[in-house]
Structure 1
Amino acid sequence: MSDFVGTWTLVRLALRRDRLQIPIWIVVFVMAAAGSAKASMDLYSDQHALVEAARTANASPALVSLYGRIFDETSLGEVSLFKFTAFGAVLVGLLAGILVVRHTRTEEESGRLELLSAGVLGRYAALTAALIVAGGTVVLLGLLTALSLIGTGLPTTGSFAFGLMWAGAGLAFAGVGAVTAQVTESARAANGLTAVVLGVSYVLRAVGDSSSHTAWVSWLSPIGWSQQVRAYVGDRFVVLLLPLVLLVVLVAAATALVRRRDLGAGLVRPRPGPARAASSLRSPLALAWRLHRGSLFGWGFAFLLLGLLVGNIASNVDGFVTSDSARELVQKMGGVEGITDAFLATEMGVIGLLASAYGIQAALRLRSEETALRAEPLLATGVTRSRWLASHVLMAMLGTGALIVVAGLGSGISSGASLGNVGRQVPRMLAAAAVQLPAIWLVTALVVILFGVAPKAVTAGWFLFGAFLLIGQFGEVFNLPSWLIKVSPYGHTPRLPGGDFSAVPVIWLLAITAVLALAGFTTFRRRDIG
């Protein structure tokens, strides 16, 4: 038991540090689920309208790949919450993973855990405390979500199945966060690995939903397990054992890794640099490139695979058109080519969201360099604050641009090869990728201005990103006012390919980005370092 001494002390410390963050996220998730259920009840006043809405969703490859298939078109509960099943599980999983990394690897990286270890603190205390906090958060979130759904009038059993499904996804990715926190030496890299695992799980789920021939692929994904619980359509609670088993396996692996490494070190140690500085490191931009290149290469490979996968699925969208109502919908959208373009436009929007996550992570490197006391010695030389800040901001902007272009190129080649028109598809998909950049850069610029104005609150960039995501994806579901929906920069991005392009919103987004970045530079030059 000596290995667990001090666990509850660390639990209390973590809860005190997150006394605002955790309640806010719980309230956001609970209100989102309950609000969607209530809005759907008001919208679908009769069974015919409910069934037609469900059939329309199932007939759209874009919606199926994005949110999953509706198994019972007559179930009010499933139709009301199908957008939150897979998508919500991803967000809950991300929350759980970040919480575990925050109270393990971040504590080690900052030196706080080493200071605490000078007292009476067991080897596994930090990991156990982080898992208790993250696990308790997602379980409480799931139970409160279930109670809120029951309060809206949905069936009790289905509501608990839905809430526990969210909790199961959170527990699974809490285990993922526990392992990634042992593998790397930085919290940023650990969160990045967790996000990659989430992305792969989501893509596997999308592949499983894309065709009856690939349905088995969903069972390889924790996000797919969330759908297989089938809340309000069978309520298969036994599936919830799968994330619990995965949690046990991952916690066992993380525990073994804790014993194999030194405090502050990771399983994968960074390669030492040369004894003498190379000519390629004689500028702030060259140093920033060296710091960001490993992460950028990893994200780039994932984006290339994602683009190829999206393009491959898009070439088979006609397989979704099986019913008369589906054929009628397709004709209204301009035939198979029209529905293919709609699918690609939707998926490119999702890829743009993922690229924004990289932009935020890259911009946050500024704060980690400052708090680790690596920025101050550099700025004591002839390097100006503006040059140092510009080097990292430029890497964040160019990095997101490279990722989105790689994804567009991959989807263009893949869909073009399947449809027999690579020469036409590649430019169209590159254009669809390029129009995502203004919104991505605006979100990155928000992190820059936070770094300049309130550096301790710079992680609020993730909160703003989540708020934009919820507003953009579910604003219409909640009947939010149009002015609030327009707050999200992603809502102003032209829908390409297939849609009409307007330069006005693009110019406005770029102008706002420039103003935010300039304000960030100005305020950073005037504040104290550290």
Structure 2
Amino acid sequence: MNKYIAKTRILFLNMLRRDRLVWSLWIVAVVGFIVGLVPVFDNLLLAGEMDRLAMVEMMKNPAMIALVGPVYGEADYTLGAAFANYMLVFSLLIVGVMNVFLVTRHTRLEEDTGRMELLRALPVGRHANLMATALLTLSVNVLLAVILTVFLYLFRGQGMSMEGCVLFGVSMGVIGIFFAATTAFLSQIASNNRSALSMSILLLLILYVMRAVGDVWHESLALISPLGLILRTKIFVQDSWWPVLPIVALSLVFAGLTLFLSDKRDMGSGLLPEKAGREHGATWLSGPFGLAFKLTKNTIILWGVVIFMLAAMYGSVFGELDAYLSSNATIQAMIAMDPRFTPVEQFMVLLMMVMSIISTVPILALVNRISHEEKNGFLELMLCQPVSKTSMISSYLVLTLVTSVCYQFIAAFGLWSVGSMVLETTPTLTSFIVSAFLYLPAIWVIAGMLIVIIGFLPGKSAIIYYYLGYAIVVNYIGRLIKMPEWTRKLTSYGYIPQYPLEEISLSVHVGLLALFVLLCAVGFYGFRKRDILTK
């Protein structure tokens, strides 16, 4: 047995040291996000009895149940019950994504880059890397659970017991370990890192949808999904521990299957056969734009589906909106209540801002794809052909612009189509589209910033995601905690007029478009003048 796991300890310590910034930032971000919202719930959501009753009714809406899960403890809806109801599912999704990236980073990515082959040439056991990755994810998830428990208890509010805080932290750690195990399993099946990453994220979404459908229509379906099963802990209400055990057992099963399959495949390949490609490519693939679209079309389609689903879920809330807005201080703090406009029109402002920020995530991923191709050495091969640097980055930029327009239309159509089903009088589709399209210059400015980073700071494109995180905090949470207006003006979203509550400002959009063009010009110049990174 020792020959299979030889040098595991050394590899584990190396991973721990090499990724210390990555996992530390993940833990700080997750704990800060969760614990930071406890005082917000305490100060705003449960400010009065009307707010509490309105919240319970809102959470019993089928759309909200699909979004965050069933309501527990509605007879005595304490801060703890409300907090767990609102936060648990989304927190679990974040931890799931964290573990997907951690595992693929140390398994299939190592094989795709050739580092695993060099490692295997040394006296290292066949399963040593897998075991070291398992130890890393186990350590990170346990540390996350402990830190989260401590800070939740320190900042606890009404109804947040010590046992509930511990169970919240343990639930996060257990779900993280589960997705680490499933990702390691899928990494044995997939043919490359990108496929392993896509399959793991797809599994996460499937389990989320299973939970949503099960919670609304058939509970047995929700119990099959670990994301639905863990909600049956009823944190801060009953604090049931039994759902933790099946998830731990399932994680061990996937871990065992991973070790078994690891013996059955060759390094650098997957158990699923790769689909044979065409003998001759299509004509539209002959240019850089066609190639960029071919490489990213699956991601574009997947994100389009996700954006529509989110928009549809938000749109289904419109039926309960009138009573909820009139009694909820939180939403009133986030939007400018104006009697001249309907509640849907006022709420649409907030939803469109949220959907626009969500749409920015895949847009940045599209722009960053050229950086990914450069890092893996593929861009160098493309530039050996009669193709310029400018045409390559321009292709991804044009694809980004077209995709952003499509995503904003999908978001607007999703909100309008489902909203009109649950509410007789809704704003016109044109109003939703105009409100969505007004955010396009703001999205493009963020994309332009990423182009500048790619042009002058190759390999540092992650910086833009920290900026996007700041934009989320100041434009969404910042409205709750009354952050100064100038903090929002440091982001492009802070300049967009709240249509239809405010008049459309042509000068603002012209200014943002001019800034976008300037950023692109600067980024193109830097990209054209610098050397291409080589492997």
Cα contact 1:397–1:444 (8 A) shared by 2: no
Unaligned runs of 5+ in 1: none
Counterpart residue number, 2:267: 263
Counterpart residue number, 1:55: 53
1:53 CA drift (Å): 3.5
Q: Structure 2 CA distance, aligned partners of 1:495 and 1:244?
A: 47
1:156 matches 2:162: yes
Q: Structure 2 CA distance, aligned partners of 1:138 and 1:8?
A: 18
1:322 CA drift (Å): 10
Q: Structure 1 CA distance, aligned partners of 2:459 and 2:286?
A: 30
After superposition, residues 86-485 of structure 1 pair within 5 angstroms as 86-154=89-157, 155-203=161-209, 218-219=222-223, 221-268=225-272, 270-275=274-279, 278-304=282-308, 311=315, 313-314=316-317, 317-318=319-320, 338=342, 349-416=353-420, 425-476=428-479, 480-485=483-488
Q: Structure 1 CA distance, aligned partners of 2:348 and 2:272?
A: 37
Unaligned runs of 5+ in 2: none
Q: Structure 2 CA distance, aligned partners of 1:521 and 1:269?
A: 39
Cα contact 1:471–1:485 (8 A) shared by 2: yes
1:517 matches 2:515: no
Paired positions, count = 517
Q: Structure 1 CA distance, aligned partners of 2:208 and 2:322?
A: 20
Counterpart residue number, 1:502: 504
Q: Structure 2 CA distance, aligned partners of 1:333 and 1:48?
A: 20
Q: Which amino acid aligns with 1:378?
A: M
Q: Structure 1 CA distance, aligned partners of 2:46 and 2:286?
A: 68
Cα contact 1:412–1:427 (8 A) shared by 2: no
Residue-by-residue CA offset, 1:335-388 (whole Å, 9 max, x unaligned): 9x9555666665555544443332232223212211222211322333111111
1:436 CA drift (Å): 4.4
Q: Structure 2 CA distance, aligned partners of 1:63 and 1:509?
A: 35
Cα contact 1:304–1:407 (8 A) shared by 2: yes
Cα contact 2:96–2:179 (8 A) shared by 1: yes
Compute the TM-score of the two structures, normalised by the length of structure 1.
0.82
After superposing the two structures, state which structure 1 stretch, 241-250 or 379-388, moved more: 241-250
Q: Structure 2 CA distance, aligned partners of 1:468 and 1:109?
A: 34
Cα contact 2:325–2:343 (8 A) shared by 1: no
1:256 CA drift (Å): 4.5
Q: Structure 2 CA distance, aligned partners of 1:277 and 1:297?
A: 21
Cα contact 1:109–1:264 (8 A) shared by 2: yes
Cα contact 2:171–2:244 (8 A) shared by 1: yes
Q: Which amino acid aligns with 1:363?
A: V
Q: Which amino acid aligns with 1:57?
A: M
Q: 1:281 to 1:37 in 2, by over 3 A?
A: closer
1:104 CA drift (Å): 1.2
Cα contact 1:89–1:226 (8 A) shared by 2: no
Compute the TM-score of the two structures, normalised by the length of structure 2.
0.81
Counterpart residue number, 2:11: 10
After superposing the two structures, state which structure 1 stretch, 109-118 or 441-450, moved more: 441-450
Q: 1:414 to 1:253 in 2, by over 3 A?
A: farther
SS at match of 1:160: helix
Cα contact 2:451–2:523 (8 A) shared by 1: yes
Q: Structure 2 CA distance, aligned partners of 1:479 and 1:181?
A: 45
Q: Structure 1 CA distance, aligned partners of 2:125 and 2:502?
A: 61
Q: Which amino acid aligns with 1:445?
A: G
Cα contact 2:145–2:173 (8 A) shared by 1: yes
Q: Which amino acid aligns with 1:401?
A: V
Cα contact 1:37–1:81 (8 A) shared by 2: no
1:438 CA drift (Å): 3.5
Cα contact 1:409–1:429 (8 A) shared by 2: yes
Cα contact 2:46–2:52 (8 A) shared by 1: no
Q: Structure 2 CA distance, aligned partners of 1:166 and 1:256?
A: 27
Q: Structure 2 CA distance, aligned partners of 1:483 and 1:69?
A: 38
Cα contact 2:146–2:169 (8 A) shared by 1: yes
SS at match of 2:405: helix
Q: Structure 2 CA distance, aligned partners of 1:479 and 1:525?
A: 43
Q: 1:405 to 1:480 in 2, by over 3 A?
A: same
Cα contact 1:50–1:76 (8 A) shared by 2: no
Report sequence identity in percent: 25
Counterpart residue number, 1:33: 34
Q: 1:448 to 1:24 in 2, by over 3 A?
A: same
Q: Structure 1 CA distance, aligned partners of 2:156 and 2:56?
A: 25
C-alpha RMSD of matched pairs (Å): 3.9
Q: Structure 2 CA distance, aligned partners of 1:149 and 1:67?
A: 20
Residue-by-residue CA offset, 1:233-263 (whole Å, 9 max, x unaligned): 2222222234324423433444444344322
